[in-house]
């Protein structure tokens, strides 16, 4: 008896001996396919409790975490364990109702694994040996076994995807107007909230909990995995990954290089005991950060975040911003055209704003700076500078808005406003005009770049 599941594009074939039905629970129904193509992984499924050789060493131990009002606590009970030895990795899970253990055996370098489900066979001849207790129970109908009792399913998928160089990540994935966006972050950062906002707007939710990212035909694609009862296979090419947190405004800031890779890794599902797996994951995260845009996102939990992200995705603006940054880095002055009212009346829509390189200098309170944002710059005034041991935080705010921006580190300052040209007349950056009654959302500046030698 065989059953094929295709999850995140990888085919897993469960195989059992004659007369014993392999029946994954209903979470997997929509992922079950006809056994046509060659599988990526074959898993022999047998009843009974598997044994872990005494020589195998325990390398990972997960305790059962229980949700209680106000948070999650460690129950102190074993949930699952990983052992390694003799060229085999073993995953043992502790199941309840009835209490039993199931074991997944994964020989290194082989794609034929074995699961002992912890269920006892209904008849002695199927029990796998006369020393096995017979006719005890099966969790499902007679002569059936569930190959993937929770949490064994997640562990099998983790090892399958990890060994293939894929990434499993906590997050919400959405497809919005043909663009694949992934929001990842710590527990409570707003992943589910964002999925709900996009869901209400009619966008396609890939998943709101756990995703697999795979490089396929030169691009990264996000897939869901079976978690909930009504899950069905969903996927979308990935355009942009955000590391999210709740904030006082919608602000997206690009992150690159080692910082981007670190932020991705911090949200991946991983077991950091295996050097090869850790190195493989770091390589995959590096490739992901090089191929897909990565940003830090503070957001308001309301529909405005969707509009904000949709509007800032104009490719030409992003390219212009990249060119502007290159010019500033080369020591040149650039001119941008103001497009919003956030600095009104000091800077008005249509004003030509000259931005000078700032180099390593820290801006002073009162100066107007260009902050790097996805798709362009925001030009706001410095309201505070806090020097820490490892970083300097810059606080900024538009003259015409009532809220401060999210604090930025000094590296997010692209340049400093040297002068403003209005109606053909050049003037120094004006000092602040009060009162700040003109309350508009922060506006991005459209970049029309003219390098000044």
Q: Does 261 bind another protein (CB under 8 A)?
A: yes
Name which of 69 and 388 has its Cβ closer to another protein. 388
**Taking the C-alpha atoms of 183, 189, 194 and 195 in order, what is their torsion angle to the nearest 10 degrees?**
70
Name which of 93 and 443 has its Cβ closer to another protein. 93
Name which of 279 and 365 has its Cβ closer to another protein. 279
CB-neighbour burial class of residue 184 (10 A; exposed 0-12, middle 13-18, buried 19+): buried
Stretch in the footprint of another protein (CB under 8 A) among 273-281, 324-332, 359-367, 444-452:
273-281
- Residue selected from 64, 282, 300, 449 as contacting another protein according to rule CB under 8 A: 282
- Residue selected from 286, 314, 356, 404 as contacting another protein according to rule CB under 8 A: 286
**x/- binding map, residues 60-79, to another protein, per CB under 8 A?**
x-------------------
Helices and strands counted in the chain (H then E): 6, 29
Residue (of 126, 86, 130, 127) closest to 109 by Cα position: 86
Residues 220-259 that bind another protein (CB under 8 A): 257-259
14: phi then psi, degrees, rounded to nearest 5:
-95, 130
Q: Does 263 bind another protein (CB under 8 A)?
A: yes
Least Å distance between CB 428 and another protein? Answer: 35
- Residue selected from 97, 275, 387, 428 as contacting another protein according to rule CB under 8 A: 275
Least Å distance between CB 90 and another protein? Answer: 16
Name which of 26 and 276 has its Cβ closer to another protein. 276
Name which of 282 and 300 has its Cβ closer to another protein. 282
- Residue selected from 1, 164, 249, 262 as contacting another protein according to rule CB under 8 A: 262
Residues 10-39 that bind another protein (CB under 8 A): none
Least Å distance between CB 238 and another protein? Answer: 19
Residue (of 76, 2, 56, 67) closest to 33 by Cα position: 2
Least Å distance between CB 266 and another protein? Answer: 4
> Residue 156: which region, alpha, beta or left (left: phi > 0; alpha: psi -120 to 50)?
alpha
Number of residues binding to another protein, judged by CB under 8 A: 24
Least Å distance between CB 277 and another protein? Answer: 9
Report which secondary-structure segment, H or E, holds 179: strand 179-184
Name which of 134 and 269 has its Cβ closer to another protein. 269
Name which of 99 and 390 has its Cβ closer to another protein. 390
CB-neighbour burial class of residue 165 (10 A; exposed 0-12, middle 13-18, buried 19+): middle
SS3 211: strand
Token duo for residue 6: 């295709």
**Cβ-contact 285, 167 below 8 angstroms:** yes
Name which of 255 and 305 has its Cβ closer to another protein. 255
CA–CA distance, 115 with 79 (Å, rounded to integer): 17
What is each CA distance from 361 to 21, 229, 298, in whole angstroms?
70, 56, 26
Q: Does 283 bind another protein (CB under 8 A)?
A: yes
- Residue selected from 56, 278, 358, 393 as contacting another protein according to rule CB under 8 A: 278
CA–CA distance, 40 with 164 (Å, rounded to integer): 10
What is each CA distance from 41 to 35, 157, 208, in whole angstroms?
12, 11, 26
Residues of this chain that interact with another protein (CB under 8 A) are 59-60, 257-259, 261-263, 265-266, 268-275, 278-279, 282-283, 286, 289
């Amino acid at each position: 008896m065989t059953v094929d599941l295709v999850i995140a594009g990888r085919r897993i074939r469960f195989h059992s001996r004659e007369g014993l039905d392999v029946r994954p629970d209903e979470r997997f129904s929509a992922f079950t396919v006809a056994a046509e193509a060659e599988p990526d992984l074959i898993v022999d499924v047998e009843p009974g409790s598997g044994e872990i050789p005494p020589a195998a060493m325990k390398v990972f131990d997960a305790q059962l975490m229980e949700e209680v009002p106000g948070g999650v606590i460690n129950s102190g009970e074993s949930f699952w364990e990983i052992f390694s030895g003799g060229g085999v990795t073993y995953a043992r899970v502790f199941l309840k109702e009835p209490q039993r253990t199931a074991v997944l055996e994964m020989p290194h370098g082989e794609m034929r694994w074995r699961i002992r489900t912890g269920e006892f066979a209904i008849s002695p001849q199927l029990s796998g040996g006369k020393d096995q207790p017979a006719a005890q129970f099966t969790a499902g109908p007679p002569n059936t076994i569930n190959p993937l009792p929770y949490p064994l399913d997640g562990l099998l998928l983790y090892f399958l995807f990890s060994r293939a160089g894929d990434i499993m990540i906590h997050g919400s994935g959405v497809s919005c107007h043909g663009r694949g966006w992934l929001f990842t972050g710590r527990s409570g950062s707003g992943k589910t909230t964002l999925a709900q906002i996009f869901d209400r707007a009619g966008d396609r939710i890939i998943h709101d909990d756990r995703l697999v990212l795979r490089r396929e035909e030169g691009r990264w694609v996000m897939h869901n995995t079976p978690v909930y009862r009504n899950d069905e296979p969903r996927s979308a090419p990935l355009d942009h990954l955000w590391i999210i947190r709740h904030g006082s405004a919608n602000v997206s800031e690009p992150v690159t290089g080692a910082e981007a890779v670190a932020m991705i890794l911090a949200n991946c599902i991983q077991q950091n005991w295996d050097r090869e797996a850790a190195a493989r994951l770091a390589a995959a995260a590096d490739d992901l950060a090089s191929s897909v845009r990565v940003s830090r996102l503070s957001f308001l939990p309301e529909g405005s975040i969707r509009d904000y992200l949709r509007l800032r995705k104009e490719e030409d603006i992003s390219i212009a911003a990249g060119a502007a940054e290159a010019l500033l880095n080369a020591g040149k002055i650039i001119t941008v055209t103001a497009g919003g009212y956030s600095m009104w009346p000091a800077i008005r829509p249509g004003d030509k704003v000259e931005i000078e390189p700032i180099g390593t200098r820290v801006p002073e309170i009162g100066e107007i700076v260009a902050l790097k944002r996805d798709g362009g710059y925001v030009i706001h005034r410095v309201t505070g500078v806090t020097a820490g041991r490892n970083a300097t935080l810059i606080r900024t705010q538009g003259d015409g808005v009532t809220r401060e921006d999210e604090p930025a580190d000094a590296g997010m300052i692209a340049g400093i406003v040297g002068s403003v040209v209005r109606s053909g007349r050049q003037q120094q950056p004006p000092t602040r005009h009060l009162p700040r009654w003109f309350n508009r959302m922060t506006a991005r500046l459209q970049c029309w770049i003219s390098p000044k030698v």
